[in-house]
Amino acid sequence: MKSKMNQLFVEKKSVHVLYAYHGVKSYIEQVCNFIEQGVANEQYTILIENDRLYPMILKELQNKLTEQELDYVHHINSFDFYFSSGSYHPPAIHEYFKKMVAPFVENKLSFRSWAHVEWASMEEPLHLIEDFEKIVDDAVNDLSFPLICAYNGDRMPDYLINILMETHPYVLMDDQFTSSKQYLG
């Protein structure tokens, strides 16, 4: 599974993956593997992660990577990222992302991104996530980089699952990596 996905990241470059995780331990394993594969391929990783999990991820990476290799990891606080305009507003998030990746694009540096997507409650307007994921899918194809969007599988109602399956061409769920049959790209 992992080798198929990583091979796709190297060969295709523009890869947008939905990752529905179950449990913090497997989540940390996946994100660390993603970063390690990036380092092995001399790709920077833009890690959009919360302040609760980032120290655990960093600790794991410090056990596996050198100081020089850790320079390939660029952490962005997920709360700052998603709420840069004061609310979850997809166009503002897109602008923030463009500013964030500009140095990589301008300097022709290869990069990948991991975005942990969270929300406070199921009352959040989930249609905004659909708008955001469509914008992100276009950005992945325009800028040609691999992106994993990680969602807690235990907090995904059916309506959200359908939206995410329609906006991600690839899916990593229950350790299975597949193409989404529902993708509307």
- Sign of the alpha-carbon torsion through 139, 83, 158, 1: positive
pLDDT tens, position by position, 46-55: 999 999 999 9
**Rounded mean pLDDT of the chain?**
89
Task: Say yes or no to pLDDT of 166 above 50.
Answer: yes
Rounded Cα–Cα distance for residues 5 and 113 (Å): 14
Q: Using the 8-state DSSP alphabet, how is residue 30 labeled?
A: H
**Predicted confidence band of residue 1 (pLDDT cuts 50, 70, 90):** very low
pLDDT at 128: 81
Which option is the CATH number for 15-179: 3.30.70.3000, 2.40.50.100, 3.30.1330.60, 3.40.50.300?
3.40.50.300
And the tokens for 88? 């979850």
**Orientation angle between helical segments 2-12 and 24-40, nearest 10 degrees:** 40
pLDDT at 185: 79
pLDDT at 118: 84
Q: Using the 8-state DSSP alphabet, how is residue 27 labeled?
A: H
Question: Domain coordinates of the chain in residue numbers?
Answer: 15-179
- Count of residues in the chain: 185
Q: Nearest 5 degrees, angle CA 4-CA 8-CA 12? A: 165
